[in-house]
Chain A
Amino acid sequence: MLRKFNTTRSLNDNIGLGSITAFSAGMVNVASLIIFLAFASNVTGHYAILAEELSRSHWYQTLVVIMWIFLFFLGSFTSNFIVIHASSKGRFVAHSIPIFLEILVLLGIGFYCEMYYSERLLETEILVSATSFAMGLQNGLTATITNFLIKTTHLTGLTTDIGILTSMLTKKQFRRRKSLRQRLKLSIIIMCSYLTGGIISAFIVHEIGTRVFFVASFVLLCVLIYDLYVIIMRLSRLARIQRGRKSTDLSDDPEFFPEKP
């Protein structure tokens, strides 16, 4: 899911990455809404609120909303920054660092909530900022490595895509195009995953409280574990082949060796 970049990605790669990250994002967003009474990645809504708060001269709230938007931006920036600057270390490493960072942030939120959270306003605002940063990291990563095809933390663009694609499928000439059908399938799977994550989060947050952030981190960890498993299996297979042939040259494989400048 994280080992490939842009055009080399298959539909299944995108479905795997999109569905798991959307599931996690749905969990985080609903948890944030129930626990902190604020959305983690409703950036469009944040801009609308910012305009409203500015017009009413509510400087404190204006600053808070600017902080949330900026942290989402910073998360997205950080993701892309890591992907483009760490590509020399190999694609998997470059693509997994943002997910790893997101897991750390979510674990941090969960840990802080369990140990110290006393529901003060400043704490709440900073924790929402942290969730915004985590969602920015995730959105930035998925958009970067799929050439802006997948965005999993908010569904405005996705719902637009589904609307356009279903409309296109009303014409026979478009229905024949496999790429359109695949894109619609991917979008619907992401939407359903996000919704499922949100519903599950809403149910379990009443049982386990803020530990829901640990569950969301674990879901993301599955992406890393799966890719690591695939890499280990391929490495061991290649090692067997190498032992058999004793002369296999793997230096051209970009998944295991850094790209040469």
Chain B
Amino acid sequence: MTRILIIIVLFFGLQVAFRILLYDQSPEKLIVGQWSEDYREFEVADEPDNKQEGLLNAEFTDDEVPEIHTQKDDVGSEWHFLDDDEGLIVNYSTLSEPFKYTIKGRGNMLQLVDHNGNLNKYKIRYIDGAEMVLTYKTDAPRRGIVKLVLHRIQ
């Protein structure tokens, strides 16, 4: 038993040491700051069965139909991630919306909860000091995975 305890203590000790060394790379640390949304697009999507029918094509102009995977709405919002549990403020063109945010998993999942308690889950595909790529699943206007690319505002 003593040997097992020594192994556990040693392992956790090494973990803590490495964590301290890698602290700056923690997604929780990296995400704090102001980000601007560059673009969002469908990374994966079901193609509409009939392009003449209703909602599936309603989001796109005639010029955009060939580039069916690109949705240009909502682009340009600013995401301000605050430190110490102060939450996230998303500034759209006309209004601001506060969220509570948490990062979970291995630092690859971002959870946003709005003031009504609605939960939104994003996958953090990539994050560094300059760029963040998020993805989320959607059912509307069509089923698929949407990719958001944000860059840090210096």
Whether A63 lies near B18 (C-beta < 8 A) is yes
Any chain A CB within 8 A of the CB of B11?
yes
| A63 in contact with B15 given A74-B7, A74-B8, A118-B85 (CB within 8 Å) | yes
Any chain B CB within 8 A of the CB of A150?
no
Any chain A CB within 8 A of the CB of B6?
no
Any chain A CB within 8 A of the CB of B104?
yes
Q: Could you tell me the distance between the alpha carbons of A78 and B18 in the complex, rounded to whole angstroms?
A: 24
Whether B25 lies near A122 (C-beta < 8 A) is no
Whether B85 lies near A61 (C-beta < 8 A) is no
Whether B108 lies near A61 (C-beta < 8 A) is yes
Whether A63 lies near B11 (C-beta < 8 A) is no
Any chain B CB within 8 A of the CB of A232?
no
Interface range, B side: 20 to 34
Whether B107 lies near A60 (C-beta < 8 A) is yes
Q: How far is the CB of A78 from chain B (nearest CB, A)?
A: 6
| A60 in contact with B25 given A38-B105, A118-B85, A124-B105 (CB within 8 Å) | yes
Any chain B CB within 8 A of the CB of A28?
no
B residues 93-134 with Cβ under 8 Å of A?
A: 102-109, 111, 121
A residues 122-145 with Cβ under 8 Å of B?
A: 122, 124-125, 128
B107 neighbours in A (Cβ, 8 Å): 60-61, 64, 121, 125
| A121 in contact with B22 given A74-B7, A74-B11 (CB within 8 Å) | no
Any chain A CB within 8 A of the CB of B4?
yes
- For the complex, count residues of A whose C-beta is within 8 A of B: 27
B101 nearest in chain A by CB position? A119
Q: How far is the CB of A156 from chain B (nearest CB, A)?
A: 20
Any chain B CB within 8 A of the CB of A65?
yes
B103 neighbours in A (Cβ, 8 Å): 121, 124
B138 neighbours in A (Cβ, 8 Å): none
Whether A124 lies near B26 (C-beta < 8 A) is no
A53 neighbours in B (Cβ, 8 Å): 106
A122 neighbours in B (Cβ, 8 Å): 19, 26, 28
Any chain B CB within 8 A of the CB of A199?
no
B30 nearest in chain A by CB position? A60
Any chain B CB within 8 A of the CB of A67?
yes
Contact surface of B with A, Cβ cutoff 8 Å: 4, 7-8, 11, 15, 18-19, 22, 25-28, 85, 102-109, 111, 121
Contact surface of A with B, Cβ cutoff 8 Å: 36-38, 49, 53, 58-61, 63-65, 67-68, 70, 74, 77-78, 81, 118-122, 124-125, 128
Additional pairs, 9, CB under 8 Å, beyond known A36-B105, A60-B27, A121-B26: A36-B104, A59-B25, A60-B22, A61-B107, A61-B108, A78-B4, A121-B103, A121-B104, A124-B105
The 6 closest A-B pairs by CB, nearest first: A37-B104, A121-B28, A119-B102, A37-B109, A60-B25, A64-B106
